[in-house]
Amino acid sequence: MRIKPEDASGRLYTLAGKRVWVAGHRGMVGAALVRRLGREQCEILTVERTNVDLTRQDQVVPWMSEARPQAVFMAAAKVGGILANDSYPAQFLYDNLMIEANVVHAAFTTGVEKMVFLGSSCVYPKHAPQPITEDALLSGPLESTNEWYAIAKIAGIKLAQAYRKQHGCDFVSAMPTNLYGPGDSYDLQASHVLPALIRKAHEAKMRGEREIVIWGTGTPQREFLHVDDCAEALVHIMKVYSEAAHINVGSGEDLAIIDLARLVAEVVGFKGEIAHDLSKPDGTPRKLMSSEKLRALGWRPRIGLREGIADAYRAFLKDWSASRSGASD
Ligand code: GFB
């Protein structure tokens, strides 16, 4: 068995001196992990998609055999908001299954010591009791708008468990709630709600428009976590957690989408009305997770929602808006 007992400090794994691969470092979570790992005494490995396509086993295996990462944060995934998930089910299922299967299997064959696989809160049943504890997995039907992505992420959890059970690999899975922050996608068709609201409120303010349009009824409740808090949690999990069961990563608080829209408008400085496009889906009514298990291990979020949105808006202005000034899509 490769799973190691905890050391004298109570840690199960140390990153110091290790080669640590952040798979998906160009994504919002991967980039946050790279920032966070800068404070650890480890060597950070990354690889560009143009060099290694993670959906291709014939590219993943040679690269991992050569690079020999000792620890892996599996943050590479095809991700998107409710409409992208609902519109491209084959791509969300296929890409994510391939990426996971390739990376997890190659992590086993190349002797990776520890891996943290990232899932999503959408793995839980649509009507799971709230707050959702880890044992709600596979206890009921999924939300239809994202069942394809959810099935792929459930397969990822099961891959980690299977390689642990059969081969003794120290692979664990973390389920983050809805994340936001620097490096998010602002593509209005493909993005998640929070970056979409930042862009809509900002553009309406700049154009002097009187309203922004949000999708659906605004009644669904969502929990949000700043990506830097998530990166902190993932590094903590890498160090102190080593169980087959997955572990939730959330802020512990949720709010209705209409209240989120009002908060974003306030932070951005948009003073107009909020209208609804009821042709767009609401998705799951609520998915507040219980993160008590992780809190009991000593992690807690530090960035409040208002403060986090202000940070995300600053990042939006810096990274995106300036380069797109004058664009009309
Ligand atoms: O963030 P979001 O796309 O993802 O949408 P989910 C959350 C809620 O915000 C839904 C509403 O009720 C949307 O209808 N919403 C309002 C908007 N205005 C907008 C808008 O302009 N853009 C978007 N995108 N939503 C995703 C899953 O579900 O959550 C993924 O599809 C993943 O699989 C991710 O798990 C974390 O929370 O509904």
User: Ligand 1 centroid vs 220 CA: distance in angstroms?
Assistant: 9
Running DSSP on this structure, what letter comes out for residue 289? B
Q: Which atom of ligand 1 is nearest to the CA of 222?
A: 37
Query: Using CB atoms within 10 A of its CB, is residue 7 exposed (0-12), middle (13-18) or buried (19+)?
Result: exposed
**Atom 20 of ligand 1, nearest CA residue:** 193
Distance (angstroms) between ligand 1 centre and the Cα of 178 equals: 9
The yes-or-no verdict on residue 21 having pLDDT over 80 is yes
User: pLDDT digit string (tens) for 147-177?
Assistant: 999 999 999 999 999 999 999 999 999 999 9
Active site residues: 149
Is 77's pLDDT higher than 50?
A: yes
**Which residue type occupies 45?**
L
Quick one: tokens of 174? 């973390």
Say which residue, 10 or 25, is predicted with more confidence: 25
State mean pLDDT over 295-302: 97
By most ligand atoms within 8 Å of CB, the mutation choice from 82, 202, 226 for ligand 1 is 82
* pTM score, whole prediction: 0.96
pLDDT of residue 308 exceeding 80, the answer is yes
Instruction: Give the number of other Cβ atoms within 10 Å of residue 151's Cβ.
Output: 17
Ligand 1 pocket, Cβ-based, cut-off 6 angstroms = 81-82, 85, 120, 122, 145-146, 149, 178, 191-193, 196, 214-216, 220, 222, 257, 280-283
Residue 150 Cα: closest atom of ligand 1: 33
pLDDT band at 328 (very low <50, low <70, confident <90, very high): very low
Nearest CA to ligand 1 atom 3: 81
In the predicted structure, residue 329 carries a pLDDT above the cut 60? no
The residue ranges of DSSP E strands in 133-281, in sequence order, are 171-176, 178-180, 211-215, 221-226, 247-249, 254-256, 273-277
In the chain, % of residues over pLDDT 70? 95
Q: Which of 192, 200, 214 to mutate to test the pocket of ligand 1 (most atoms within 8 A of CB)?
A: 192
Report how far ligand 1's centroid is from the alpha carbon of 86 (Å): 10
What average pLDDT does the segment 103-117 reach? 98
Q: How far is the CA of 8 from the centre of ligand 1 (A)?
A: 44
Q: Would the pLDDT of 4 be above 90?
A: no
Q: Per-residue pLDDT averaged across 67-76, rounded?
A: 98
Question: What distance in Å separates the CA atoms of residue 146 and residue 86, rounded to the nearest whole number?
Answer: 6
The one-letter amino acid at 15: L
Per-residue model confidence (pLDDT) at position 319: 80
Helix/strand/coil percent split, the chain, to 5: 45, 15, 40
Q: Can you tell me whether residue 204 is helix, strand or coil? A: helix
* CA of 97 relative to ligand 1 center, distance in Å: 22
**pLDDT of 53-62, one tens digit each?**
999 999 999 9
Q: Which residue has the least CA distance to atom 5 on ligand 1?
A: 193
* Residue corresponding to tokens 């939006």: 316
What is the pLDDT at residue 197? 98
For the CA of 179, the closest atom of ligand 1 is 36
Query: Whose CA is closest to atom 13 on ligand 1?
Result: 282
pLDDT confidence of residue 326: 53
DSSP string, 83-97: HHHHH-HHHHHHHHH
278 Cα to the center of ligand 1, angstroms: 14
